[in-house]
Amino acid sequence: MLVLEDVHTHYGKIEALHGVSVEVEKGEIVSLIGANGAGKTTLLMTVCGNPQATSGRVIFQGRDITREMTSNIMRSGIAIVPEGRRVFSGLTVEENLHMGGFFNTKPEIRKSQDHVYELFPRLKEREHQRAGTMSGGEQQMLAIGRALMSRPNMIILDEPSLGLAPLVIKQIFEIIGKLREEGITVFLVEQNAHQALNLADRGYVLETGRIRLHDTGKNLLANPDVQNAYLGG
Amino acid sequence: MAAHNLKHALFCAIITLVISYPILGFNLESEGTSIILEGAGATTILGVLLAAVIVFLFQLFRDSVMGSLRQLPAINPLANRKPMEQSKRLRLESTLLTLMIIGALIWPFLASRGAVDLATLVLIYIMLALGLNVVVGLAGLLDLGYVAFYAVGAYTFALLSQYYGVSFWFALPIGALLAALFGLVLGFPVLRLRGDYLAIVTLGFGEIIRILLNNMTSLTGGPNGIGGIPDPTLFGMEFGRRVKEEGNTSFHETFGIAYSGEHKVIFLYLIALVLAVITAVAIRRLMRMPVGRAWEALREDEIAAKSLGLSRTAVKLSAFTIGAFFAGFAGTVFASKQGFISPESFVFLESAIILAIVVLGGMGSQMGVILAAIAVTILPELAREFSEYRMLIFGAAMVLMMVWRPQGLMPMRRIHIELKRQE
């Protein structure tokens, strides 16, 4: 569904990704783990076309999107939950969701909204509350809900567990598991390697701009190198 | 109790003396051809000393004074009331607005000519401020060169009428559209900029337009400006004593009433009123439409807005273009009202005043902006008697506002959009 072929990305003259190849199949959860500064977010942003890859190809659903505009990519069936949630804090929960379905028709919005409330009953309770006044966990739910509003085929999550309590993280990961059951492909970027790999079908380990390891989630969890570097021995 | 403030208070008192004595204590008197320096009288010196003492005492007891001042809002009876329900508030607002518009329609027939003329100016400022409110208040793009679009509208009408004899009613849409085009053109280079940088570039753009108008002497008349801009006509009826253009009739002859200069003033006022109402209603609609929410989303979080597939280009350009469009509207009316325009009417101070109106009124709030436009235009006129201190009073009012109502006269209350459900 999503293929990155030998992608190089530069920030100015500095190369942040040195030829990364990643493949995400339809219907699976793929986790990308790596330390701070490994290039995880850069990889995601390259998929979104901001910044664009300097060489290599990004292919989504058989279409080359390497040189597409960000706004076009984001309307073509990919949704991203950006790092740090980034909900519109002055808007209500409902309005935030509507922004997610900006390019859909009213009935479609209504349907996806009900669906999001089903996944996150907590959001329904807070429907008319301003998003900025909610807790971090609720905001993360809203960010995921907002991304789902465009009815994407694939959802990219950037560090959904960042700064959340363990219990809330558990809930969020449960929801991510549910998304797979609904047939949504999930590309998950996490520092929280243990939970991310546990949930994932396959995983990639990114180190200083290169893919170091690539295996099923279970195997990566058992891999001594991964255990040493990311799971605290 | 105030011992720890003593040093600071002394310092402040000395500063007061150092600053005010040279300014107030010396006078330059011209005696024939020479200018001599004269010391001021005893009263001035006493005044300066008194001011220093007041500053000293205030700084000494600052904590307790400010402490008691802070209690003041508690006296405000409205402070603790519950916020009104959205539906109720909306209904109240629309009734109030309707009443205001009806009042504004009847009012000019009772008021003096000068007052109506001033009110026309107020309405022009309302249009400008509402337009800038879209750019600054809703889209969050700080635009310091807004007056450029106002100038484009005004000059479009002036030039069209001078060279092609185009009437007000034709020039109105052309002026607005041309201003919108300029907004679009300005929008492109500033798309990547934000905050301070955006402000500087737009400031530059405003100056470029003014300097262009000043220097293209062959076309615009340069600093001499353009005069003889025609008044608007009412279905081909002119408001002058004599008909200037062939085929037109004059208003007072058609209706068989005595000629009065007031007719024209009132007519212009009514045009401005209608256009201001159109502006307000149009922008209100836009705010509730998806594009309005896109502006707000972009203001709140650019990255999140982009992640949802919104195009930053389209959203920013639409805000600039729409804001500029209404400035063009206002400019055309202004040119017609004045009958004469020159680059001097479109200096940076105008941009600053319009921005001040938006900030004073409360960014994004339409009612607030309208109230602030009225206040900012009328207050200096009322304070004409102390003309020397006008800017001082204006400045003091600004500072006080920022202290007591930092969010503006009427902070923006967002209209929450709810999805109507089919049950």
Give the closest of B308, B311, B416 to A100, CB-based: B308
pLDDT for res B32: 77
Collect all residues of chain A within an 8 Å Cβ-Cβ radius of residue B301: 86-89
Among A77, A21, A23, CA closest to A211: A21
Burial class (CB in 10 A: 0-12, 13-18, 19+), B322: buried
Average pLDDT over residues B147-172: 92
B226 in contact with chain A, both atoms CB, cutoff 8 A: no
Count of H-run helices and E-run strands, chain A = 10, 10
**From the candidates A45, A74, A126, A146, which should be mutated to test the interface with B, based on the most B CB atoms within 10 A?**
A74
State pTM to two decimals.
0.81
Mind telling me how many Å the CA of A202 is from chain B's nearest CA? 25
Containing A194, the helix (H) or strand (E) segment is helix A193-199
pLDDT of residue B423: 43
Least confident of A48-62, B218-232, B276-290, B379-393: B379-393
User: How many Å apart are CA B276 and CA B360, to the nearest integer?
Assistant: 19
Rg (CA), chain B: 26
Indicate yes or no: CB of A88 within 8 angstroms of CB of B309: no
- ipTM of predicted complex: 0.86
> Across chain A, what does the average pLDDT equal?
91
Average pLDDT rounded to a whole number, residues A5-33: 93
In the predicted model, what is the mean pLDDT of residues B325-332? 95
Distance to chain A for B310, nearest Cα, Å: 6
DSSP A62: T
What's the CA gap between B255 and B252, in Å, rounded?
Answer: 5
Could you identify the residue written with the tokens 């919005």? A109
Contacts of residue A73 in chain B, CB cutoff 8 Å?
309
Q: CATH 1.10.3470 region(s) of chain B? A: 89-404
| Distance from C-alpha of B153 to C-alpha of B173, rounded to nearest angstrom | 9
Span A47-53, average pLDDT: 90
Q: Is B301 touching A (CB cutoff 8 A)?
A: yes
Beta carbons of B191 and B316 less than 8 angstroms apart: yes
Please give the class, per CATH, of domain B89-404.
Answer: mainly alpha
Lowest mean pLDDT among A59-73, A106-120, A200-214, B222-236: B222-236
CB A60 within 8 A of CB A75: no
What's residue B60's pLDDT?
83
B298 touches chain A (CB under 8 A): no
Which whole number is the average pLDDT over B99-112?
Answer: 86
The pLDDT value recorded for residue B312 is 87
